[in-house]
């Protein structure tokens, strides 16, 4: 079966690179599945997981914090400000970030940026989900 | 006449100083190495984002976005990247001199510009001159990651979108080689000079080109700022390395001349003693 070259790059360097059969992720307009031979396309992504199906074994999971995907017939590039493959996620840090964000939201103070805190919570939950494979 | 003991203590203190500068030079050399690697890992990301931005912005003529359009300038933002500590030769002073000069040329009142300061030296410089500092960040690590600068970059971009200023310039030392760093002025916003490197790809946009630009352009501008920071950090380590090398060289030169002076003084003392003994013996005869 044909494969796609996938690279997930962040400002801190490449986070994931591999040959896969299918890429599925959540674009802002909805779920998006990419197979080899896709027309060139650009789409912004939601905070979520990227699932990379390989010919054998379990699919790889990578947590991304938004960004966008650039598709070419034989290549997919995901540009995100941060991305972590499931095996690289520091689960304790993610849990801490979640608690902190929840605490900030529950405080209900005036001087905090609610949107920021909500985004932080979303990112933390996303990392935990990817780590546990629940996507 | 300087006493032997004075010279000796000067030699030993200069030696100690040169040991410190030598150590600092080696520390900076290894930091420079890592900073160069950081800059290298950032290149694929920057290349890709530039390619996509160019494809969208130049590919489809009917697409516009506030960040791509120049508007009448009422207020200018200056993002100045300096180091937190000194001992880096002319690293900070050359940047600050350029920015100060540009501001003097372009603006007549303090309300016409705002400073975004990265690094303590720049912040203190503008604060002591009473300039309006919109954002500041200090004590960045030597090997900054994107998350360290993310918040400031986002705010800097949104100040432009909110109309706080109408253009944003960035000043930093561009790393050319270990012995050469160039002070660079770069216009970040509006994004008017998007370079198209190679042939453009015609993309499908999901959902639309405008909405993609909405996500893409801020991310692009933020990565420009991050790229400049990495570049500036590499320059900082290089500048500090060569400053410390010069200091070490000067110290060893100084030690040489002091040692010569010490030996001369010692010999003069011995000669004088001999003369005294000979003189004393002659008086007895």
Domains, chain B: 25-242 (3.40.1380.10)
Tokens found for residue B141: 């690590």
Q: Which residues of A touch B153 (CB under 8 A)?
A: none
Percent of chain B with pLDDT over 70: 95
Q: What is the mean pLDDT of chain B?
A: 88
Is residue A103 domain-shared with residue A73, that is, in the same domain?
Answer: no
Is residue A13 domain-shared with residue A71, that is, in the same domain?
Answer: yes
ipTM of the complex: 0.77
Contact B207 A81 (CB under 8 A): no
Tokens found for residue B188: 């970040």
Is residue A76 domain-shared with residue A100, that is, in the same domain?
Answer: no
Q: Which residues of B touch A82 (CB under 8 A)?
A: 146-147
Q: Which residues of A touch B34 (CB under 8 A)?
A: none
Q: CB-based contacts of B136: which residues, under 8 Å, 6+ apart?
A: B116, B117, B118, B123
pLDDT at B46 over 80: yes
B142-180 confidence digits (pLDDT tens)? 888 888 888 888 888 888 888 888 999 999 999 988 888
Q: H or E element: which one contains B44?
A: helix B4-59
B207-220 confidence digits (pLDDT tens)? 787 888 888 888 88
Could you give the maximum distance between any two Cα atoms of chain B, in Å?
Answer: 116
pLDDT at B282: 92
Contact A70 B219 (CB under 8 A): no
> Could you tell me the CA-to-CA distances from B70 to A6, B66, B136, B203 in Å, in that order?
36, 8, 25, 26
Q: Between B225 and B199, name the one with better pLDDT.
A: B225
A28 touches chain B (CB under 8 A): yes
Task: List strand residue ranges (DSSP E) for A1-135, in order.
Answer: 4-10, 13-20, 22-27, 30-34, 41-44, 47-53, 60-65, 68-72, 75-79, 83-85
Is residue A77 domain-shared with residue A101, that is, in the same domain?
Answer: no
- Here the CATH number for the domain that contains residue A68 is 2.60.15.10
Could you give the maximum distance between any two Cα atoms of chain A, in Å?
Answer: 56
Is residue A15 domain-shared with residue A70, that is, in the same domain?
Answer: yes
Is residue A67 domain-shared with residue A102, that is, in the same domain?
Answer: no
Is residue A56 domain-shared with residue A102, that is, in the same domain?
Answer: no
pLDDT at B33 over 70: yes
Average pLDDT over residues A66-90: 86
- Here the CATH number for the domain that contains residue A113 is 1.20.5.440
d(Cα A108, Cα A101) in Å, to the nearest integer? 12
Is residue A77 domain-shared with residue A108, that is, in the same domain?
Answer: no
Contact B56 A42 (CB under 8 A): yes
pLDDT at A105: 79
pLDDT at A95: 85
Q: How confident is residue B62, by pLDDT bands cut at 50, 70 and 90?
A: low
pLDDT at B22 over 90: yes
pLDDT at B252: 95
Tokens found for residue B131: 């300039």
Average pLDDT over residues B7-31: 94
Q: How many CB atoms lie within 10 A of CB B228?
A: 22
pLDDT at B263: 94
pLDDT at A112: 63
Contact B44 A9 (CB under 8 A): yes
Average pLDDT over residues A97-109: 79
Q: What are phi and psi of A44, to 5 degrees?
A: -75, 150
Q: How confident is residue B82, by pLDDT bands cut at 50, 70 and 90?
A: very high
Is residue A31 domain-shared with residue A79, that is, in the same domain?
Answer: yes
By residue range, what is the domain housing residue A20?
4-86
Contact B207 A79 (CB under 8 A): no
Tokens found for residue B55: 């494809």
Give the one of B56, B146, B203 whose C-beta lies nearest to A10's C-beta: B146
Is residue A32 domain-shared with residue A67, that is, in the same domain?
Answer: yes
Is residue A23 domain-shared with residue A77, that is, in the same domain?
Answer: yes
Count of structural domains within chain A: 2
Is residue A40 domain-shared with residue A77, that is, in the same domain?
Answer: yes
The secondary structure of residue B142, as a DSSP letter, is S
């Amino acid at each position: 079966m044909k494969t796609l070259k996938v690279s997930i790059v962040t400002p801190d360097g490449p986070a994931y690179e591999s040959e896969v059969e299918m890429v599925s992720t959540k674009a802002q307009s909805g779920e998006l599945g990419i197979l080899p031979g896709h027309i060139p396309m650009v789409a912004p992504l939601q905070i979520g997981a990227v699932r990379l199906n390989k010919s054998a074994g379990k699919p790889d999971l990578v947590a991304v914090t938004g960004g966008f995907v650039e598709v070419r017939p034989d290549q997919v590039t995901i540009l995100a400000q941060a991305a972590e493959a499931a095996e690289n996620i520091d689960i304790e840090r993610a849990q801490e970030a979640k608690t902190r964000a929840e605490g900030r939201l529950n405080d209900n103070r005036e001087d905090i940026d609610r949107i920021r805190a909500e985004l932080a919570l979303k990112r933390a939950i996303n990392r935990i989900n990817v780590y546990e494979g629940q996507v | 006449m300087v006493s032997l003991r004075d010279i000796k203590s000067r030699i030993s203190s200069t030696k100690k100083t040169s040991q410190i500068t030598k150590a600092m030079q080696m520390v900076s050399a290894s930091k420079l190495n890592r900073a160069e690697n950081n800059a290298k890992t950032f290149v694929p990301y920057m290349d890709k984002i530039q390619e996509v931005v160019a494809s969208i912005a130049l590919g489809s003529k009917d697409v516009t976005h506030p960040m791509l359009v120049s508007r009448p300038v009422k207020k200018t933002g200056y993002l100045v990247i300096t180091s937190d500590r000194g001992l880096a030769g002319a690293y900070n002073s050359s940047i600050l001199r350029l920015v100060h000069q540009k501001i003097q040329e372009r603006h007549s009142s303090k309300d016409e510009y705002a400073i975004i300061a990265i690094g303590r030296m720049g912040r203190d410089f503008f604060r002591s001159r009473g300039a309006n500092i919109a954002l500041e960040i200090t004590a960045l690590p030597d090997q900054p990651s994107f998350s360290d600068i993310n918040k400031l970059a986002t705010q800097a971009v949104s100040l432009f979108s909110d109309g706080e200023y109408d253009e944003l310039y960035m000043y930093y030392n561009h790393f050319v080689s270990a012995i050469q760093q160039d002070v660079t002025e770069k216009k970040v916003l509006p994004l008017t000079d998007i370079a198209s490197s190679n042939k453009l790809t015609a993309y499908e946009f999901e959902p639309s080109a405008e909405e993609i630009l909405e996500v893409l352009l801020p991310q692009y501008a933020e990565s420009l700022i991050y790229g400049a920071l990495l570049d500036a950090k590499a320059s900082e380590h290089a500048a500090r390395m060569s400053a410390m090398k010069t200091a070490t060289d000067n110290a060893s030169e100084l030690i040489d001349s002091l040692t010569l002076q010490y030996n001369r003084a010692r010999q003069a003392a011995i000669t004088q003693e001999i003369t005294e003994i000979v003189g004393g013996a002659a008086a007895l005869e």
